[in-house]
Every structure is written in structure tokens, then in C-alpha cells.
Amino acid sequence: MSLWTRITEAVSALANGEGLSHVFERLRTPPERRVAFAIAVIALGAKMAKADGQVTRGEIFAFREVFQIAKEDEAGAARVFNLARQDVAGFEEYASRIKAMFGDQTGALSDLLEGLFHIAMADGHYHPDENLFLERVAEIFEVPRREFELMRCRFVPETAQDPYQVLGASPDDDLATLRKRYREMVRASHPDRMVARGVPVEAMRMAEKRMVDINHAWERIQSQRGA
């Protein structure tokens, strides 16, 4: 059964009056977490799309930048988006439910936050209210501030991309330490690791962008140091 078939089933439960919080509860077990991950990105993305005061067509379908969605599955994905957008529950409640579902699986929560950055930048503009939204979600997810700033550095064009910040390292670190950090980030971004954290294989575009940023940062550092 495909990811989007399972999401469609979850949407049917929502249509029958089952709240998103209950849907998340049923998706707590590891085999189902990839479904929960997808719904979480779409649902929080819908809430964030309203953060700048307008919902554009680009934002509504921005999760195409995160997920590989077949044509026949677009209607189901859009339905989850619209249900979340219309739900009276606030985004903080959503984020809290998601945090409870993933517990101490901080890697999955960081991956989810990264998906939201993809969506935030879908219209090419990072609105101050989107920044406040993401900062608050990061707090609820207990994503360290340094990691949040690392993501913002990678995604927001107005933010100068310091290669050391991209690697979460310091210019004072020696080359061996930096190489170790680079390899750790590469391993963490491997598709197998991400799937084990609950990220759907359909969302591996996040890993592709992350690897481009990581490799570019490492190449710049090597060039600067003449390595």
C-alpha cells in the first residue's frame, strides 16, 4: 500500500469527523510514522501558509517540493492541506501533538522542520511572520536554536551562507574536526537513516538539497584552507 493510499485513508477518517489529533495517535507506531510525517508537514504547512496573511497557489502546492506526489494523489494531499487550513485548532496544538507522537526522535522532528522551511520559501520570500511561526515550532519540537539557525542559513537567501554555520562548526576547528563533522552530517542525511527516522522515501528531496548544501560548504572550507 502506497504512502498516499494510506494518507487518503487518514483523510477519510478526518472527513468522517475524526480529529487530526486522533489520527496522529493512531499513527504513533514506527511503521506508520512516515504517514504521520507526511500529514504533519502538510498540516503545519497549511497553518504556516496563513502566517503571512495570504495563501497563494504556490504555497498550497508547495509540498510538491518536499514530496513526490503522483497526479492521482494530488487531490488527497490538497484535501489534507485544506482541512488543516480550515481547522480552528492552532498550529501550536498541532505541533505539540506531533512532538508527543515522535517523542525523543529529535532527528525526525528536525527533518519535519526542514520540510516546513521548504514550504516557507516556496514563494521566494521569507516573511517575518513565517520566521516567528518556525521559531515557535522549533521551540515546541525542542530543536536547538543553533540547529534552527543552521536551517535558516541554508534556506533563506538573505542570510549569508557561512560554510562553518552550515556544518554547525566553528572557524576555530581544525581540518580533522571539520572533516569528522562533515562525514557525520553526510551519514545523517543518508536516505536509509532518514527512512529509519520516519521520513517517507517520497520526501527524499530534502536529503538531496541538504547534501548539496553540505558538500558546497565543505568544498568552500577546503578551498579557503588550501586543502
186-203 pLDDT, tens digit each: 988 887 887 777 676 666
Among 12-21, 174-183, 217-226, whose mean pLDDT is lowest? 12-21
Residue 56 pLDDT > 60: no
What's the average model confidence in pLDDT over 130-159?
Answer: 88
108-139 pLDDT, tens digit each: 888 889 888 888 887 778 888 889 999 999 99
C-alpha cell at 87: 481547522
Residue 142 pLDDT > 90: yes
* 68 φ, ψ (degrees, to nearest 5): -90, 105
Torsion of CA 96, 100, 106, 108, to 10 degrees: -90
Q: What is the pTM of this model?
A: 0.73
Residue 183 pLDDT > 90: yes
Going along the chain from its start, the domains and CATH numbers come out as: 3-160 (1.10.3680)
What's the average model confidence in pLDDT over 87-114?
Answer: 81
Whether the CA torsion 223, 225, 226, 227 is positive or negative: it is negative
